[in-house]
Amino acid sequence: MITAILKFDISNTFTEWEQAFYTHQPVARAAGLYELYHGHEPGNDKRVVVVVNCLSEEHMQKFIEANGKAMASSGHILESTVTEIYIN
C-alpha cells in the first residue's frame, strides 16, 4: 500500500473541480484508490492537493491513464501534476 500526494493546478474554481471530483469518487474507489484528503492552498484555490491510498504507484498511474480525460474535464490541468509517493 502506498500513499500518494498529488499537487496540481485547475482551470476552473475549486468548487467546480470539487463537484466533479466527488462525482468521480465511486469510479476511483472501485479501482482501489481511496481519497484521504483534498484541499487547496490558502489564498489560491487554483492550486489543489489530493492525498490517496492505493496498491502501488503503477496501479495509480494506470488509473490516471484510463481516467485522464475525465480528470481533465473536471478542470485538472494534468501536465501541472507533481506526485509524491510514500510507503509504509
Which pLDDT value is given to residue 87?
Answer: 93
Q: Nearest-5° angle of CA 53, CA 21, CA 48?
A: 75
Residue that the C-alpha cell 501536465 belongs to: 79
Confidence band, pLDDT 50/70/90 cuts, at residue 16? very high
Confidence band, pLDDT 50/70/90 cuts, at residue 23? very high
In single-letter form, the type of residue at position 66 comes to A
Contact 16, 46 (CB under 8 A): no
Which pLDDT value is given to residue 88?
Answer: 83
Confidence band, pLDDT 50/70/90 cuts, at residue 78? very high
Domains, the chain, with CATH or none: 2-87 (3.30.70.100)
pTM: 0.91
Q: Say if residue 84's pLDDT is above 90.
A: yes
Q: Nearest-5° angle of CA 15, CA 21, CA 26?
A: 145
Q: Nearest-5° angle of CA 57, CA 76, CA 21?
A: 80
